[in-house]
Amino acid sequence: MAPAPSSPSSPDSSSGPARLVVLVSGSGTNLQALLDAIAADPGYGAEVVAVGADRDNIAGLERARRTGLPVFVCRVKDYENKGGRAAWDVALADAVSAYQPDLVVSAGFMKIVGKEFLNRFGGRFINTHPALLPSFPGTHGVRDALAYGAKVTGCTVHFVDDGVDTGPIIAQGVVEIRGEDDETALHERIKEVERQLLVDVVGRLARDGYRIEGRKVIVP
Ligand code: GRF
C-alpha cells in the first residue's frame, strides 16, 4: 500500500500506485471503467482501495463487492437526529480517511460534500459531471442542455470546491446533440465519452502528479 502523498495535490507515484476511494450513488459504470482499466494495465498507476456510497442496494456497490473491495455506506438520513448534514459530512470524511486515499473520485455520487470533507480532501477530490461546465451545472446537466437547445454538450472532470460543479477543470469531452435525442439516449452517449475521460484523467494524475494554480490544473 502506498503511503499518503507528500503533497496533497500530487500523488507520489514513486511509492506505488495512487490509492483511490471512489464514491458512487447509482449504476457505477464509471467505477467499473476504472476497475477495468486498473485490471488491464499494471502500469495504470492507481488502485481502488474502497468504494463508498450515500445509499444501499445500488449496482455501484455490487460491482465493488464483486471485485472484493471494501465498501461503506454513509446515509444522510442516519444523521437527521445526530447533528444533521454537518455530522454526515464528518462521518463521510472519517469513512474515506480510514482508507488513506491519495485521490477521492466522485463517480456519479449525488451528494454535495461540506466543509469538513473539503478541508481534508480539497485539491484531491475529483468529480465527473455530464455537461460542459460552466454550462449546465447541477443534478440535471443532461436534461438542461437538451432543453436549452444546445448543439453540443459533453462531460467535465474537475476538482471539487465549495460550489456546485464550479471547481478547477481538469479535462472535458464533447458530445454532439442529435435532433432525435431524449435525455436517456443523450446521457448514454455522454457516459461512453465520460468513462474514457475519467480513466484517462485519473491515470494521468496518478502517474504524473499535478498542481492547481487558481483555476488552472497543470499536469506535467
Ligand atoms: C454520470 O454521468 C455522472 O456524471 C453523473 O451520473 C452518472 C453516473 O453514472 N453524475 P454511473 O453511476 O457511473 O454509471
The residues pairing with 63 across neighbouring beta strands, listed in sequence order, are none
**Which atom of ligand 1 lies at the shortest distance from residue 191's CA?**
2
**Which atom of ligand 1 lies at the shortest distance from residue 60's CA?**
12
Angstrom distances, CA of residue 1 to CA of 12, 14, 19, 100, 102: 12, 12, 8, 10, 11
Q: What is the pLDDT of residue 1?
A: 28
9 confidence band (pLDDT: 50, 70, 90): low
Mutate which of 23, 27, 30 for ligand 1? The one with the most ligand atoms within 8 Å of its CB, which is 30
The residues pairing with 199 across neighbouring beta strands, listed in sequence order, are none
Does the beta carbon of 153 sit less than 6 angstroms from any atom of ligand 1?
no
pLDDT at 204 over 90: yes
Does the beta carbon of 168 sit less than 6 angstroms from any atom of ligand 1?
no
pLDDT at 161 over 80: yes
Place of cell 446515509: 75
How confident is the model over 17-59, as pLDDT tens digits?
Answer: 999 999 999 999 999 999 999 999 999 999 999 999 999 999 9
Spell out the residues 6+ positions from residue 16 whose beta carbon is closer than 8 angstroms to its own.
Answer: 1, 2
Q: Which CATH class is domain 17-210?
A: alpha beta
**Annotated catalytic residue within 129, 140, 158, 187:** 129
Q: What is the pLDDT of residue 7?
A: 41
Does the beta carbon of 32 sit less than 6 angstroms from any atom of ligand 1?
no
In this prediction the pTM is 0.94
How confident is the model over 102-158, as pLDDT tens digits?
Answer: 999 999 999 999 999 999 999 999 999 999 999 999 999 999 999 999 999 999 999
Does the beta carbon of 128 sit less than 6 angstroms from any atom of ligand 1?
yes
Q: What is the pLDDT of residue 154?
A: 98
Residue 129 annotated to the active site: yes
Q: What is the pLDDT of residue 42?
A: 95
pLDDT at 5 over 90: no
3 confidence band (pLDDT: 50, 70, 90): very low
Return d(Cα 112, Cα 124) in angstroms, integer: 15
- Domain coordinates of the chain in residue numbers? 17-210
